[in-house]
Amino acid sequence: MLLPVRPPAHIVPSYSLTGDLLSFTKCRLQYRFYQGTALPPARPVQRWFGDFVHGVLENAYRQWQTSEPRPPFPWPATEPHWRDGLPDGTPPHDIGSLGWPVETALRLQGKRARNRAIRANAYGRVEAAVNMLGPILFPLISAAEERVIGTRMVIGDTTNLRANRYEVHGTIDVVTDVELAAVPADNLIRRLVEEQVPNLPEHFELIVDYKGQRRPRSGAASGYLRQYERQVQTYAWLRRQQPDALPVAAGVLIYINELLPGVQDMRLLRRHVEQGTEDVPPPRNSRDDLSIRNWIAGNDPGTALSDEYRLRRAIQVVPVTPESVAEATDWFDTVVRDIEERVRAEQEAGDVEQTWGPNCRDPQTCAACDFRYFCPGRARGDADDEAAALEEDIGD
C-alpha cells in the first residue's frame, strides 16, 4: 500500500493587524515566541498605559452617549485610592469612575502601573484626553471599538503554503461620521482634516486611533510613524469592505501623551525645537515657543503649553487615498507572504531560531524584549533620553 502524503492543515490564517503584522515587522523572533509559542510577556506593564487609555476613553464615550442630559465638559476627576477605590457618591462621569473598573480589570490580568507617579500621570492624561478631546470628538463618533475584518490573497505562488488567502482583522478605536454641514467650523478636528485633505466630500468617515505614547518624529530610526500610517490606511481598506461604510477621508492618530506632556516629553521637545527638527513646531516667538525654549526641569510640564498647541501636537491627520491604501495593503501582503514562508520553512526544518532570525534594529524594543538575554541580534543603543523614557513610549 502506497501511503499518500498527509497535507498540511488547509487553513486561511487570521492575522491581527497590530498583534501580528506590526509585531512581526518589529522583530521576527519576538513575534514567533510571543504569538507562535504564546509566551506571555514578563512585563505587561508595557501594555498597561495603552490598555488603560483605550478602556477609559471607550467608557467615557459610552457614558457620554447614554447620559441624559449629557454632563457638560470638563468632567470632574478624582484619582481613586489604589486599594479602596472611590468614595461613595462619585458621579459616574468622573474620570475616576471611568478609570477604576479598567484599572481593576487590568490589575487582575497582571497589568499595572509601574509606580504611583506613573499611575497619577495616567489618570492625568486620560482626564486631559476626555476633557480636551471629548467636546470635539465625541459628537462625531458613529461607532467605538469597531471590529473590522477582511480577506486578501497571499501574493506569489502558494502551492506549498497553508492557503492562498489570509484574513486580516483589527479594532478601530473610533469611526466618525462627519457631515461637514453639521460640524462647527471651529471644531479643531474638522480644521485639521480640512488642512490636510483637499476636496473633502460633504459626508465622510474618519478613522481614529488612540496611541498611548508621545508623537513619534518623522524619520525616526524605528519607523513607527510609517507603520502607524500604514495601519490606519489598512483600517480604511478594511472599513471599505463593510457594507455600511462611508468614504474614508482620513485617519486620525491621537498621541495621548501630548495632551499632558511629561518631563521627558518637554526635554525632547525643547531639544528638537532648538535643533529645528520638530515636526510640529510652535509658531516662532509664540508663547508656546518661548515656553519650550525656556523650559527647565522643575517647571510644571502640564501647564507649559497652550491647549491648542497640545491638541495640534496630539492629532495627526493621515489623508486616505486609493494610492495610499494600496501602498499600505500591498506592504502588509508582503509581510504576510514572509510569515507564511517561514511557517512552512519551520515545518520542514523544525528550527525556530534559524527560521525566525531576529531582525530588530530598535534598541528600545530590544531593551524591553524578554528574549534579549539570548537574542543574537539584539540591537544596542546609548541609554539616551528616549530609552530612559521607555515606559512612556510603549503603547498600542
Partner 1 sequence: MLTVDRFLELVPVVMTPVGAPPRPLNDEQRDCVGLQTGEPLMIVAGPGSGKTAVLVLRALRHLLVDGFLPEEVVVTTFTRKAADEIRTRLLEWGRAFLDLLVNEDNPALQAFLGQVDLNRFVTGTLDSLSQNVMGERRRSGEVPPNVIEGFAANQILKFRGGLNRGVRDIDAGRVNLYFDTFSPRRNRYNRNAKDLVKAAREVIDRMTHDLVDTASFGAAEPFADVRQMLCNVREQYYTYLRQSGRYDFALLELEFLQRLLDGEMDASVVRWRALLVDEYQDTNALQEAIYFGICQRAQIAFTVVGDDDQSLYRFRGATVELFREFVARAEQALQVRPQIRWLHRNYRSTGDIVGFYNGFVACDAEFQAARVAGKPPVTAEFGGEPFPILGMFRPTRDDLARDLAGFLFDVFRTDGGYTSLNNADIVVRRSDTGDFGDSVLLAHRASETNTSGDPRLPLLLRRELSARGVEVFNPRGESIETVPIARELLGLMLEALDPASANWPNGQLCADLQRADPANGVYPAFGRDVAAEFAAWRATARTVDQTQVVGGRRLSDVVRGWSVAELMGGGEDAGGYTGRDRPLSDLFFQLISYLPTLRTRSENQVYMEAIARSVAEAAAYSRYQAQIVREQFDESRSAAIRDVLVPIAQGELTLDEDTVPNVPRSVFPIMTIHQSKGLEFPLTIVDVASDFRTNHHLQKMFRFPEAASNTAMLESQIDPHTPIRGLRTARSDLHRTFEDLVRLYYVAYSRPQRVLLLVGLLPCINGRTNIKSVPLHWRFDSSWPWENAGNTIADVPFEVI
- Residue 333: which of 95, 55, 24 has the closest Cα? 24
Q: Are β-strands 248-255 and 315-319 bridged in parallel, bridged antiparallel, or unpaired?
A: antiparallel
Residue ranges in 260-319 that form contacts with partner 1 under rule CB under 8 A: none
Half-sphere exposure for 4 (CA within 13 Å, toward CB): 3
Out of 353, 359, 361, 377, the residue judged to bind partner 1 by CB under 8 A? 353
> Which element (helix H / strand E) includes 150?
strand 141-153
385 contributes a contact to partner 1 by CB under 8 A: no
183 contributes a contact to partner 1 by CB under 8 A: no
55 contributes a contact to partner 1 by CB under 8 A: yes
Grid cell 510569515 is found at 339
Q: Is the peptide bond before 41 cis (omega within 30 degrees of 0)?
A: no
218 contributes a contact to partner 1 by CB under 8 A: no
Residue ranges in 13-32 that form contacts with partner 1 under rule CB under 8 A: 14
223 contributes a contact to partner 1 by CB under 8 A: no
- The residue range among 58-66, 198-206, 228-236, 269-277 that interacts with partner 1, by the rule CB under 8 A, is 58-66
Could you give the CA distance from residue 343 to residue 145 in angstroms, rounded to a whole number? 31
Could you give the CA distance from residue 1 to residue 319 in angstroms, rounded to a whole number? 62
C-alpha cell, 131? 476633557
The residues, any chain, with a CB within 8 Å of residue 264's CB and separated by 6 or more, are 385, 388, 389, 392
Out of 70, 112, 272, 361, the residue judged to bind partner 1 by CB under 8 A? 112
Residue ranges in 157-176 that form contacts with partner 1 under rule CB under 8 A: 163, 165, 167, 169
110 contributes a contact to partner 1 by CB under 8 A: yes
Whether the Cβ atoms of residue 149 and residue 238 lie closer than 8 Å to each other: yes
The residues, any chain, with a CB within 8 Å of residue 169's CB and separated by 6 or more, are 14, 15, 16, 17, 147, 148, 149, 150, 238
Could you give the CA distance from residue 342 to residue 336 in angstroms, rounded to a whole number? 10
- The residue range among 202-210, 315-323, 326-334, 373-381 that interacts with partner 1, by the rule CB under 8 A, is 373-381
Backbone angles phi, psi at 394, to 5 degrees: -90, 125
116 contributes a contact to partner 1 by CB under 8 A: no
C-alpha cell, 206? 474618519
108 contributes a contact to partner 1 by CB under 8 A: yes
350 contributes a contact to partner 1 by CB under 8 A: yes
> Least CB distance from residue 292 to partner 1, whole Å?
26
> Least CB distance from residue 59 to partner 1, whole Å?
7
Residue whose CB is less far from partner 1, 285 or 374: 374
10 contributes a contact to partner 1 by CB under 8 A: yes
180 contributes a contact to partner 1 by CB under 8 A: no
373 contributes a contact to partner 1 by CB under 8 A: yes
Number of residues that bind partner 1 (CB under 8 A): 72
- The 84-103 site mask, x for binding partner 1 (CB under 8 A), equals --------x----xx--xx-
